[in-house]
């Protein structure tokens, strides 16, 4: 009984709402109220009007689209620096080069248009032709103190050591340019591991000058960013199972000299990081190592 009475009352209310709604002239007001009446009094208008047909539907949809566009723009702004850096073309290849200001002395042009290290200088330093293989191993030294009857030593920190950087990769000579570049690489490593000595060094005033400190770059800012290194040793393979091609350089007195280089050679260069006492004292900060800022100063 109660349910039947409730349904009858609802039906009368819907009929009353429908009659009053029909008395309104057609126009924007009637369209605006249609959604409300259809929702508040289900069945009063037969079917519930679609809100998309409402006079305000254009404004509502515009608000929704504007909000979505603003959210997309906020997301793009939050990632903009990273997106820009990734989109830039960066040369992250392994490179070993002399410091600025000492390039001419290192390459020893001596006024000649063609010289052994010209390909290295033209490429901005020794650039590894293929992706090299590297194995890194850092170390920390501790002093161990043992007392009578102790089962475990007491470790006291002494110092830490930056890891050596052994760089191993193949170099090939598939054409004249690569053969000339391989010859320049061999010359570069010879020069980088020798000091000024003898009468000529005395005559030029360079006697006592040690091998140069070079800059090693690889993988970007948080990899190896202008790490100051010295070449402590290197190995160059001269295999017996490959061809050897002639390389002519225009530095001879009679129109050039010829040197043979292998078409493929495996070269390993061991680089030892070296920092000045002033730089270690003034610019090293362990917190900068953890947040990444110190890598821009060449620390690893």
* pLDDT digits 0-9 by tens, 65-84: 787 787 767 655 554 444 45
pLDDT digits 0-9 by tens, 157-176: 999 888 899 999 999 999 99
Average pLDDT, integer, range 43-69: 61
User: How far apart are the C-alpha atoms of 174 and 131, rounded to whole Å?
Assistant: 17
Q: Which residues contact residue 51 at a Cβ distance below 8 angstroms, ignoring those fewer than 6 apart?
A: 35, 57, 60
179/76 Cα distance (integer angstroms): 47
Q: Is the pLDDT assigned to residue 47 strictly greater than 60?
A: no
Name which residue leads in pLDDT, 236 or 36: 236
| pTM score over 0.75 | no
Q: How far apart are CA 17 and CA 37, in angstroms?
A: 7
Measured distance CA(113)–CA(122) in Å, rounded: 12
Question: 157, 144 in Cβ contact below 8 A?
Answer: no
Hey, where are the domains in the chain? 2-87, 95-297
Q: What percent of the chain has pLDDT over 70?
A: 70
The pLDDT of residue 289 is above 70? yes
Contact between 132 and 171 (Cβ < 8 Å): no
- Give bridge partners of residue 227 from the DSSP assignment: 216
């Amino acid at each position: 009984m109660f349910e039947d009475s409730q349904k009858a009352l609802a039906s009368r209310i819907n009929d009353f709402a429908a009659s009053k709604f029909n008395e309104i002239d057609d126009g924007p007001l009637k369209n605006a109220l249609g959604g409300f009446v259809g929702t508040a009094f289900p069945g009063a208008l037969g079917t519930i009007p679609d809100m998309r047909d409402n006079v305000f539907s254009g404004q509502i949809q515009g608000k929704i689209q504007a909000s979505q566009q603003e959210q997309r723009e906020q997301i793009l702004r939050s990632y903009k620096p990273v997106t820009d850096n990734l989109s830039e073309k960066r040369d992250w290849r392994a490179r070993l080069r002399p410091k600025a200001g000492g390039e001419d002395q290192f390459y020893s042009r001596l006024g000649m248009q063609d010289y052994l290290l010209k390909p290295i200088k033209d490429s901005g330093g020794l650039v590894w032709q293929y992706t090299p293989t590297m194995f890194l191993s850092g170390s920390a030294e501790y002093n161990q103190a043992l007392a009578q009857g102790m089962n475990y030593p007491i470790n006291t920190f002494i110092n830490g050591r930056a890891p050596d950087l052994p760089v191993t990769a193949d170099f090939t000579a598939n054409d004249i340019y690569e053969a000339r570049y391989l010859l320049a690489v061999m010359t570069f490593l010879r020069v980088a591991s020798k000091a000024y000595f003898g009468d000529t060094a005395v005559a030029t005033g360079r006697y006592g000058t040690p091998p140069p400190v070079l800059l090693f770059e690889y993988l970007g800012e948080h990899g190896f960013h202008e790490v100051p290194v010295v070449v402590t040793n290197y190995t160059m393979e001269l295999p017996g199972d490959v061809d050897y091609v002639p390389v002519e350089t225009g530095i001879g007195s009679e129109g050039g000299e010829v040197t043979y280089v292998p078409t493929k050679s495996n070269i390993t260069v061991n680089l030892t990081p070296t920092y000045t006492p002033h730089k270690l004292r003034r610019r090293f900060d362990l917190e900068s190592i953890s947040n990444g800022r110190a890598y821009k100063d060449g620390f690893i």
